Amino acid sequence: MKKDELIKAALESKKMAYVPYSGFRVGAALLTEDDKIYTGCNIESASYTPTNCAERTAIFKAVSEGDMDFKAIAITGDSEYTFPCGVCRQVMREFSHDLKIYIVKNEKEYKEFTLKELLPYSFGPEDLIEDKTKDDKNEKI
C-alpha cells in the first residue's frame, strides 16, 4: 500500500482548503483498490449548510470518475488530530465497511483505525436489501 504517499497527498490537499469563515483547513486523500489516489479539501460556504468536508470531496471525486472500491483514507486538519465528522463516516460506510483510516498529524505521526472502530453498529447498503424469497410484501426475516 502507498501509506506514505497517501499521507503526503492529504497534507498537500489541506493547502487547497477554502475556509474563509472558520479558517480551519482539512485535507484528505483516498486510496482506491486499484491504487489510485483522489484528494479533497474542505470547501466552505457563507450559508454553512452547503459546506463540504475534505473526506466527502475526495470520495465524490472518486465516485464521479467511476471508482467506488476504497482501501484507505488519510485525513489531516489544523488541530493535532482531526477525525471525520459523522456525515463523512456514513458516506465512507456507503462504500466500505473495512476502510483503513489514517488520522494524520504530520508525515511521521498518525493514528490508524478501521471504519468499524470509528462507526460501530453502522447502517449500510446491505441493511436495505430485502429478502426477495418471501412473499409477505418483501418483509425482512
User: For each of the chain's 141 residues, which pLDDT tens digit applies?
Assistant: 589 999 999 999 999 999 999 999 999 999 999 999 999 999 999 999 999 999 999 999 999 999 999 999 999 999 999 999 999 999 999 999 899 999 999 999 999 999 999 999 999 988 887 755 555 544 443
Q: How many domains does the chain have?
A: 1
Tell whether 115 is covered by a domain. yes
CA–centroid distance for 92 within its chain: 5
Domain that holds residue 31: 3-128
Q: Is 18 annotated as a binding residue?
A: no
Tell whether 140 is covered by a domain. no
d(CA 55, CA 129): 26
* Cβ neighbours of 70 (radius 10 Å): 23
Q: Is 41 annotated as a binding residue?
A: no
Question: Catalytic residue at 33?
Answer: no
Largest Cα span, the chain: 56
Nearest to 6 by CA among 33, 34, 30: 30
Tell whether 139 is covered by a domain. no
Active-site choice (12, 55, 109, 130): 55
Tell whether 19 is covered by a domain. yes
pLDDT at 67: 96
